[in-house]
Amino acid sequence: MRRCSSQNLCLKFLIAILPLLSQRVAAEPSPPIRLAVDASRAPQKILHARMNFPVKPGPLTLVYPKWIPGEHQPNGPIMQVTGLTFTSGGKVIPWRRDLVDMFAFHLDVPAGVTALGADLDCLLSAPAAGYSSGASATAVLDVLSWNQVLLYPAGSPAREVMFLPSLKLPAGWKFGTALPIANASGEAIEFQPVALNTLVDSPVIAGKYFRSIQLTPGQNPAHFMDIAADSAAALEMPPDMELHFRNLVAETGALFGTRHYRDYHFLLTLSDDVAHFGLEHHESSDDRTWERSLIDDTERIYFAGLLPHEMVHSWNGKFRRPADLATPDYQQPMKDDLLWVYEGLTEYLGDVLTTRSGLQTHAQGRENLAHLAAYYANQPGRQWRPLQDTADAAVFLYDARDDWSSWRRGTDFYDEGELLWLDVDATMRRLTDDRKSIDDFCKIFHGGPGGEPALKTYTFDDVVSTLISLAPFDWSGFLRARLDGLAPNTPIEAIENSGWKLVYTEQENEAESVRGAMKRWLDLSYSLGLVVEEDGSVVDVVHGSPAYAAGLGPGMKVTAVNGKQFDEVSLKLAVQAAATSTKPIQLLTANGARFQDFSIDYHGGLRFPHLERDESKKDYLREILATQVK
C-alpha cells in the first residue's frame, strides 16, 4: 500500500478504501472450489477432504497453506497430509512435489479437462503440544482448522479465491463456528460461499458434549461461547464465571469503542488431551485448555487470561496488523519484527481486561505482574539478546525448549512486551497529568467504522505517531531504547512508574504457585535458581544462579537433599535451614547414568516476588486495572 505524507490525508485515504480492504469482499468473483470435509472419523484421528477445482488444460500448481496467520511460523502441518490424489473423469492425474517449496504440487491438466477432483487426508495423530497442528481431536470432540484440509491455486490472493465448504460430523455431535451457514441438518453442514481468507479465519469446534451460551442476548453484535468438552460435567460453568465473561465483552467495548465483527464466537475446547493454546481470528477465537478450567479453582486461575488475550486480537492483530504480517496468501513469508505490538500489547490489554472483567482480582493481577517483573529482572539473557531480537527470531523461538530459557530467552515479546506497554501506559498518564492513557490510544489506533472484519496495516511509525498525538514525547526514542538496548531497566521501571515496588518474601507468589500446581513443579528461580519437577527432574537452572555455580543443569534428576530422599518439601526445608547455617545444601543428582554430588553455597532463604505499594508515587496500576463499565 502506498505510504501517505500527511496524517489527515492518510486517514481520509484509509476511510475511502476501507470497504475495499474488507475481508468479505473479493476483488474479482471466481468460480468457487468445492471443499467437502468428512470429520466422521475424527475420533480415529483422521480427516478426509474432497475438493473440486474449476481448471483449464495445461500446467497447474496447487499449494498447501504454509504460513498460518497468528502462529507467525511456516508450520502448516504438511507432514500430516496423506492420500493425496488428483482425478478427472475417473482417471488419476499424476503430480510432483516442488523440490524447493515442499508445500507446492505440480500437475499437468490434460486437454479437454475443466474440473479437477482432489482428495487428501489430514492425520490428526499429533502430540498434545504446539499450536493448531498439534492434537486437535479426542474421542468426543474435534477442532477443524480449514487450512489443514485444503489446497488452492498458487499465486492466488486469499481474498480472491472462493470456496464452497461443507462438513460431515460424527453422529450426535453439535458444532459452533463464526462461518456463515447455508444449511445444517443433523451432522451435515453446508456453509455459504466464502473467500479463502475468511475460511482459514473461521475454524469449527464440534463435539458430543457441547454447549453454546449467548453472552449478550438481545444485543447486536451477538457474542457466543461455544464449548466442546471431554465430559458433560466440564461444561457446567458457574454463574459468577459466566458473568465475568459477559463483563469481558462489555469491557472490550469500553476499551476500544468499536467492534470489527458481525458477531463473535469464543470456540472453547476443554480437554487434557489436546494441545493447549489460543489462536485469534476476526470473528472467533480457537481457545484450547484443560478439561476442568471452568469448574476447578486452580485451573480457573491458570486459564483466566486466555480468552481476554484472544479477544483483544480481533482488534490488535486482525483489524490492525503489522504490514509485514499482512501477506496476500499463506505461502509468502511473514516478518515478525512488530510482534512486540501484535502480541506484547495484546498480552498487556488481555491481562488488564482479565482484572477489569473480574476473571482475576486486583491482587492476582499484581501477583502476575510481580512474577513477570522478577523473571526479567533476573534474566541474564537480556545482557546479550535485545527484546527486539526475540520478535525477529520468533519463527524458531516459538519452538525453543524451556531449558536454559533465562540465557537463551524465548518469545519474550509477549511478557516483557506486556511490561513495556505498562511502562508506556504509566508514562503517558504521568506526561498528561493522568488525562490520557492506553485506553485513549486503543480508541484511536483500533477505531474505525466497525461492523464487519477489515484489515488496516501499520508500521512502527504509525504506532509512534498515534502515541505522539496523545502525548507529545520522544516515543520513538523511548521504545527503541527498550527494544534495542541490552539489559535496560524496563521491567522494574514499569512497575515503579505505576506506583509499586518489586519485593521478595518467603511467601509464595500465587501466579507461580498456580503455574507450579498445573505443571507439577517447584519454582525456586529467585533463591537457588532452580525449577524442579515433583519427581526431581530439573526443568531449568537460571544461568549465573547458585545452582548454576554449583554445576547443576536441566535434564538432571535430583534424588536426595542433604542425604534424604528428594521431595519438594524436603528441598524447601533445606533452603530455609541453610539461611541460618554456613553449610552448603547437598544435592545427589542423576546426570544420565551417572550420579553426582553438588554443593549449593546459598544462604539467602526462600525468595518469591510480590508487588508492594510505593506511597511516594501515584497508584496508576489501580486505575489501570479498575473496572470501566459501572
Contact at 8 Å (CB) between 339 and 412? no
Minimum CB distance to Zn ion smaller for 274 or for 306: 306
Question: What are the CA-CA distances from residue 44 to residues 76, 136, 142, 205, 315 (Å)?
Answer: 21, 12, 11, 17, 37
Minimum CB distance to Zn ion smaller for 343 or for 508: 343
Minimum distance of Zn ion from residue 398's CB (angstroms): 11
Minimum distance of Zn ion from residue 248's CB (angstroms): 16
Which residue in 42, 8, 37 sits closest to 141, CA to CA?
Answer: 42
Minimum CB distance to Zn ion smaller for 140 or for 393: 393
Output the CA torsion 226→284→133→348 (10° steps): -110
Minimum CB distance to Zn ion smaller for 343 or for 418: 343
Q: Which three cell numbers stand for residue 335?
A: 516478518
Minimum distance of Zn ion from residue 94's CB (angstroms): 42
Minimum CB distance to Zn ion smaller for 251 or for 343: 343
Question: CA 288: distance to chain centroid?
Answer: 10
Minimum distance of Zn ion from residue 316's CB (angstroms): 9
Minimum distance of Zn ion from residue 508's CB (angstroms): 28
> What number of CA atoms fall less than 13 Å from residue 522's CA on the CB side?
21
Question: What are the CA-CA distances from residue 578 to residues 541, 599, 600 (Å)?
Answer: 19, 12, 10
Minimum CB distance to Zn ion smaller for 313 or for 607: 313
Sheet holding 174-177, edge to edge: 141-144, 204-207, 174-177
For residues 319 to 348, the per-residue mask of contacts with Zn ion, x marking binding by CB under 5 A and - elsewhere, is ------------------------x-----
Minimum CB distance to Zn ion smaller for 72 or for 610: 72
Question: CA 450: distance to chain centroid?
Answer: 23
Spell out the alpha helix ranges (H) of 452-567.
Answer: 460-470, 475-484, 490-497, 510-519, 546-550
Based on the number of CB atoms within 10 Å of its own CB, is 474 exposed (0-12), middle (13-18) or buried (19 or more)? exposed
Q: Restricting to residues 128-147, which ones interact with Zn ion according to CB under 5 A?
A: none
Minimum distance of Zn ion from residue 346's CB (angstroms): 5
Minimum CB distance to Zn ion smaller for 165 or for 317: 317
Identify each DSSP E strand in 171-306 by its residue range: 174-177, 181-185, 188-191, 194-195, 204-207, 209-214, 223-229, 264-270, 277-280, 284-289
Number of residues lying near Zn ion (CB under 5 A): 1
Minimum distance of Zn ion from residue 386's CB (angstroms): 21
Q: Which residues bind Zn ion (CB under 5 A)?
A: 343
